[in-house]
Amino acid sequence: MDPALDPALDPALDLLATGPLVVLTGAGLSTDSGIPDYRGPGRPPRTPMLYGEFVSGPAARQRYWARSHLGWGRMRHAEPNPGHRALVALDPELLITQNVDGLHERAGQRAVVALHGRIAEVVCLECRAVSDRAALHERMTEANPGFTERHAAVAVNPDGDVELDDPAVLADFVVPDCEACGGVLKPHVVFFGENVPPDRVERCYAAVDALAATGGTLLVAGSSLTVMSGLRFVRRAARNGTPVVIVNRGATRGDDLATYTLDVGCSELLSALVERRGAALPGARPPG
């Protein structure tokens, strides 16, 4: 069904079609790119590795990096989908994303705050040097010959992790150290147990606050708002009297604060909104 033809969506589309937008996106936006979401209908519960566990010792890091090596090897080939391209056409005042896949940037989004960082970067916990994940991926592949081929069938999670828990397999995985100082390497993303950098949060709050003065709307696309890192912006908008529209498959923690909740696909709704606002869909940039 085309959301543009569904009369029940007209009030929300009419609201979103006028005035400035700030958009908050979650994993549900990337499902059409082949990346599964965290908490969509039918998804089993899972507990990502906490930061404290990651820094607790080599065994935890072997478990993390073995799984992440497999997941990112597939995730890096994902392409922006029609939802990403629609958001480029809509050109919101700010796009706040909880995703670490980098697909908004790949699509050509103008103003993006990646709340949780980007999985395509790696940071050393000792010297704080930031490096390219692709280079580390090649080092891991060389240090663990045949590992990817032996585990080609494992299921991928939305943060680049996979379902692999065999202790014997994980214990044999070789994790390279920082080439600059020999320190511990970590994806340059915010783990559970870490805080989002304050400057990112303040930039997002400022954009949400500006909506109250300009008659704008906060649009949430593909997030269950389960974690506070995203929910706080919905609460801020509601407290300011700013309309909130939530587009998500299934219920969210912010539903009681929303002006409209739309249980439809992100790509379909956003593409319909582009048509309603009279914008043109751009093409995605080639992979960088």
- Burial-class residue 5 by CB neighbours within 10 Å (0-12, 13-18, 19+): exposed
How many Å apart are CA 255 and CA 261, to the nearest integer? 7
Query: Among 69, 84, 104, 116, which one carries the catalytic annotation?
Result: 116
Is 124 annotated to bind ligand?
yes
| Contact between 259 and 29 (Cβ < 8 Å) | no
Cβ(60)–Cβ(53) under 8 Å?
yes
Cβ atoms within 10 Å of 1's Cβ, excluding its own: 9
Length of the chain counted residue by residue: 288
Phi, psi of 121, rounded to the nearest 5 degrees = -120, 155
116 is catalytic: yes
Which residues face 189 on adjacent strands? 117
119: helix, strand or coil: strand
Is 266 annotated for ligand binding? no
204 is in an annotated binding site: no
Task: Give catalytic residue positions.
Answer: 116
Which residues make up each annotated binding site for Zn(2+)?
124, 127, 178, 181
Which residues make up each annotated binding site?
124, 127, 178, 181
